[in-house]
Chain A
Amino acid sequence: MGLHVSSTFTEQRSSLEAGKATAAHLKNELGCPPKIVFVYLTVKHNARAFLSGIREVLGEDVRIAGCCTQGVMANGVLREEGYAASLMALGGESLHAATARALEIQTDTARKGTELGRELLDSLGGRTPKVAIVQYDPLSGVDAAVLLRALYEVLQCPIMGGAASHPFGVPVSTTQQYFGGEVTEKSAVVSAFAGDFTAEFETCTGCSPVGVEMVVTKARDNMVLELDGRRALDVWRELTSSAPDAALRPEDTAALAIGVKSPGGSHMIRAAFLLDREAGGFVLQAAIPTGERVMLFHRTVEDVLDGAHRLGATMREKLHGKTPRAALGFECAARTLPFLGADRSLQENVELQRDVAAKIPWVGFTAWGEVCPSADGSPAFHNYTYPLLVLAE
Chain B
Amino acid sequence: MTAPNLRQVLTHAPSADEAYEMLREKAKLLLLRERELFDLRHARDRTEGWLKAFIDLPPQLDRIDQRALIERWGAIVVGHLGFGLAAAIELSLDGEVRSLMFDPGPAPDVRRVPPNVTSLLTKQQTGTFEKGEPAELAPFATTIGFGQFLWACLPIGEDVRLLVVAGDDPDTARYSEIRTYDRGHFAVLSSHLVAHLTSEALRSEIEDERLELKATNQELDASLSRLRETQDKLVQSTKLLVAASRRAGMSDIATGALHNVGNVLNSINVSADLATERLRKLRLGGITKTTALLREVTDGDSTFAKDTKGAKALAYLEHLATHLESEREALADEMSRLREHLTHVKSVISKQQAYAIGVDMSELCGVDRLVDDAIVLTRESLNRHDIRLIREIDSLPEACLDRHKVLQILINLLSNAKQAVCAMNPPEKWIVVRARAVDEAHFYLEVRDNGTGVRAEDRDRLFTHGFTTKAGGHGFGLHMSALTARELGGLLELIDEATGERGAIFRLTLPFAAATRQGEAP
By a beta-carbon cutoff of 8 Å, the part of chain A in contact with chain B is: 11, 13-15, 43-44, 46, 81-83, 166-167, 169-171, 173-174, 208-213, 238-241, 251-252, 254-256, 259, 265-267, 295-296, 298-299, 337-339, 341-342
In the bound complex, residues from chain B placing their C-beta under 8 Å from that of A238 are 28
B34 at the interface (CB under 8 A from A): yes
The answer to whether B1 touches A13, judged by C-beta atoms less than 8 angstroms apart, is no
Closest A residue, CB atoms, query B39: A251
A246 to chain B, nearest CB (A): 12
Are the C-beta atoms of B79 and A83 separated by less than 8 Å?
A: yes
Tell me, yes or no, whether B31 is within 8 Å of chain A by CB: yes
Asked if A13 contacts B31 (CB within 8 A), the reply is no
Q: Choose the segment among B4-12, B154-162, B206-214 that binds chain A (4+ C-beta atoms closer than 8 Å).
A: B4-12
B1, B80, B83 — most chain A CB neighbours (10 Å): B1
CA distance A226 to B34 in the complex (A): 24
Which chain B residue lies CB-closest to A296? B27
- Report yes or no: B31 in contact with A256, Cβ–Cβ below 8 A: yes
Q: How far is the CA of A169 from the CA of B30 in the complex (A)?
A: 20
B84 nearest in chain A by CB position = A44
B103 at the interface (CB under 8 A from A): yes
Inside 8 A of B34's CB, which chain A residues have their CB? Answer: 255, 298-299
Contact A13 to B104, CB < 8 A, known contacts A81-B82, A83-B78, A341-B45: yes
Q: Are B27 and A338 in contact (CB under 8 A)?
A: no
Instruction: Please indicate which of the listed interface residues A171, A174, A212, A251 has the most CB atoms of chain B within 10 Å of its own CB.
Output: A212
CB distance from B40 to the nearest CB of A (A): 10
The smallest C-beta distance from B79 to any residue of chain A, in angstroms, reads: 6
Cβ–Cβ contact B42 & A169, under 8 A: yes
On whether the beta carbons of A13 and B27 are closer than 8 Å, the reply is no
Q: Which of A14, A173, A210, A240 contacts B175 (CB 8 A)?
A: A173
Instruction: Judge whether A266 and B1 touch: CB under 8 Å.
Output: yes
Provide the bound-state CA to CA distance between A386 and B337, in Å.
Answer: 144
B61-78 toward A: CB 8 Å interface, digit per residue (1/0)?
000000000000000001
- Kindly state whether residue B32 has any CB partner on chain A within 8 Å: yes
Shortest beta-carbon distance from B74 to chain A in Å: 9
Contact (Cβ within 8 A) A341 B7: no
A14 → chain B closest CB, angstroms = 5
Which residues of chain A come closer than 8 Å to B174, judged between CB atoms? Answer: 170-171, 173-174
Cβ–Cβ < 8 Å partners of B20 in chain A: 212
Contact indicator B27/A239 (Cβ below 8 Å): yes
A258 to chain B, nearest CB (A): 12
Say yes or no: B42 contacts A13, CB within 8 Å: no
Report how far A341 CA is from B206 CA in the complex, Å. 45
CB neighbours (8 Å) of A267 from chain B are 3
A-B contact pairs, 5 of them (CB 8 A): A14-B105, A167-B175, A213-B7, A241-B32, A339-B41
Does chain A have a CB within 8 A of B499? Answer: no
Q: What is the bound-complex CA distance between A337 and B44, given in angstroms?
A: 12
CB–CB B78/A240 < 8 A: no
Chain B residues, CB < 8 A from A265: 2
Residues in B neighbouring A83, C-beta threshold 8 A: 78-79, 84, 104
CB-based contact A211/B6 at 8 Å: yes
Given contacts A167-B175, A173-B174, A339-B38, contact A82 B79 (CB under 8 A): yes
Which residues on B sit within 8 Å (CB–CB) of A44? Answer: 82, 84, 168, 172, 175
Give every chain B residue within 8 A of A82 (Cβ-Cβ). Answer: 78-83
| Contact B79 A298, beta carbon cutoff 8 Å | no
Known interface pairs A83-B78, A256-B31, A298-B27. Does A209 touch B3 (Cβ–Cβ under 8 Å)?
yes
Across the A-B interface, the 10 shortest Cβ-Cβ residue pairs: A209-B3, A81-B82, A13-B104, A173-B174, A210-B27, A241-B32, A44-B84, A43-B175, A211-B6, A170-B177
Complex contacts, A211 vs chain B, CB 8 Å: 3-6, 23, 27
B6 — which chain A residues lie within 8 A by C-beta? 211-213
Contact of A251 among B27, B38, B78 (CB under 8 A): B38
Count chain A CB atoms within 10 A of each CB in B5, B105, B172 and give the residue with the most: B172
Query: How near does chain A come to B17, taking the closest CB pair, in angstroms?
Result: 13
Q: Is the CB of B23 within 8 A of A11?
A: no
Further pairs besides A239-B27, A341-B45: 13, Cβ < 8 Å: A13-B78, A13-B104, A82-B80, A83-B104, A170-B177, A208-B1, A210-B26, A211-B3, A211-B5, A211-B6, A212-B6, A265-B2, A338-B42
Question: Size class of B's contact patch?
Answer: 35 or more
Which single member of B1, B30, B41, B83 contacts A210 (CB below 8 Å)?
B30
Asked whether, in the complex, the Cβ of B2 is within 8 Å of the Cβ of A166, the reply is: no
Q: How far in angstroms is the closest Cβ of chain A from B101?
A: 13
Q: In the bound complex, do residue A43 and residue B172 qualify as a contact, i.e. CB atoms below 8 Å apart?
A: yes
Closest residue of A by beta carbon distance from B75: A13
Closest to A241 in B: B32
Which of B5, B28, B83, B171 meets A241, CB within 8 Å?
Answer: B28
0/1 interface trace, chain B 211-236, chain A, CB 8 Å (1 if under): 00000000000000000000000000
- In the complex, what's the smallest C-beta–C-beta distance from A13 to chain B, in angstroms? 4
CA distance A211 to B174 in the complex (A): 38
Residues of A within 8 A of B26 (CB): 210
A213 touches B5 (CB 8 A): yes
Contacts of A171 in B (CB 8 A): 174, 177
The distance from the CB of B34 to the nearest CB of chain A, in whole angstroms, is: 6
Render B143-184 as a binary contact track against A, CB cut-off 8 A, 1 for contact. Answer: 000000000000000000000000010011011110000000
Q: For the complex, is B459 an interface residue (Cβ under 8 Å from A)?
A: no
CB-CB < 8 A to B176: which residues of A?
Answer: 167, 170
Q: How many whole Å from B166's CB to the nearest CB in chain A?
A: 12
B35 within 8 A of A: yes
A251 and B4 CA atoms in complex are apart in Å by 29
Q: Which residues of B contact A15 (CB under 8 A)?
A: 104
Residues of chain B contacted by A213 (CB below 8 angstroms): 3, 5-7
- Chain A proximity of B359: nearest CB distance (Å): 83
Is the Cβ of B35 less than 8 Å from the Cβ of A240?
yes
Contacts of A254 in B (CB 8 A): 38
Closest to B20 in A: A212
Contacts of A166 in B (CB 8 A): 175
Q: Which residues of B contact A239 (CB under 8 A)?
A: 24, 27-28, 31
* Nearest B-chain residue to A343, judged by Cβ: B45
Contacting A at CB under 8 A, from B69-122, are 78-84, 103-105
List chain B residues, Cβ under 8 A from A298. Answer: 27, 30-31, 34
A208 to chain B: which residues have CB within 8 Å? 1
Q: Distance in Å from the Cβ of A236 to the closest Cβ of chain B?
A: 10
User: For A342, what are the chain B residues with a Cβ–Cβ distance below 8 Å?
Assistant: 45
CB distance from A203 to the nearest CB of B (A): 15
Q: Mark B297-329, 1 if CB is under 8 A from A, else 0.
A: 000000000000000000000000000000000
Most chain B beta-carbon contacts within 10 A, residue among A238, A266, A298: A298
**Residues from chain B with Cβ under 8 Å of A212 in the complex:** 6, 20, 23-24, 27
Residues on the B chain within 8 Å of A266, using CB: 1-2
The digit string for B13-24, where 1 denotes a CB below 8 A from any CB of A, is 000000010011
Residue of A nearest to B24 (CB): A212
Bound-complex Cα distance A239 to B42 (A) = 21
> Taking A211-B3, A252-B35, A255-B35 as contacts, is the C-beta distance between A240 and B28 under 8 angstroms?
yes
Q: Give Cα distance in the complex from A259 to B171, angstroms.
A: 36
Give Cα distance in the complex from A14 to B20, angstroms: 56
Within 8 A of A (CB), among B357-382: none
> Given A11-B79, A171-B174, are A240 and B45 neighbors across the interface (CB < 8 Å)?
no
Q: Determine if B3 and A295 form an interchain contact, defined as CB atoms under 8 angstroms apart.
A: yes
CB closest chain-B residue, reference A213: B5
Q: Which residues of B contact A255 (CB under 8 A)?
A: 31, 34-35, 38
Q: Which residues in A have their C-beta under 8 angstroms from that of B1?
A: 208-209, 266
**Distance between A239 CB and nearest chain B CB, rounded to angstroms:** 5
CB distance from B86 to the nearest CB of A (A): 10
Distance in Å: Cβ of A256 to nearest Cβ of chain B: 7
Distance in angstroms between the alpha carbons of A309 and B83 in the assembled complex:
33
Question: What separation, in Å, do the CA atoms of A166 and B171 have in the docked complex?
Answer: 13
